[in-house]
Amino acid sequence: MPTALRTDLHFRLLELCDEFRAQGDIDCEVALDEHHTRFDQEVSEVVFRTVRELLTNVRQHAKAKQVQVASVGRRDGSIGITVADDGIGLPPHRRRGNPFESGGIGLWSIDQRLRGFDAVLDIDAAAGCGTRAMVILPETLLVAG
């Protein structure tokens, strides 16, 4: 288990969603359990940057009216932090594959950073039904607090 002091990722994500909401016509709902955001500084920074990149993608590409940032404790003990929108859905070629061919360098780089912590980015989308991107982090990354 990480021994570094936790950062206030919960507060930073709430603030990020407030800023996102204030920037335009997309509502940002937050359903984060503070216990699901207790990571050391390095992991917290990667999670924050990941959520920020996902929200940027929603604003630039999704044509969404609403986005939700939420967390969930999964059956295997891992933590899922989800960014889900009601937009047009991310095409399959943008979810996986060579980022230099699909233009998806942001999602690819997020996935690479997360893998350094044994975490993954899982993306589920369907045309016209929105996109759900879940960052799945092993429970061993949580810091007691």
Query: Residues 53-95: pLDDT tens digits?
Result: 999 999 998 999 999 999 999 999 999 999 999 999 877 655 4
Residue among 8, 10, 68, 4 nearest 40 (CA): 4
pLDDT tens readout for residues 84-126:
999 998 776 554 555 445 556 777 888 889 999 999 999 898 8
Reported pTM: 0.88
Token pair of 23 as six digits: 């920037």
Residues ≥6 apart with Cβ < 8 Å to 129: 89
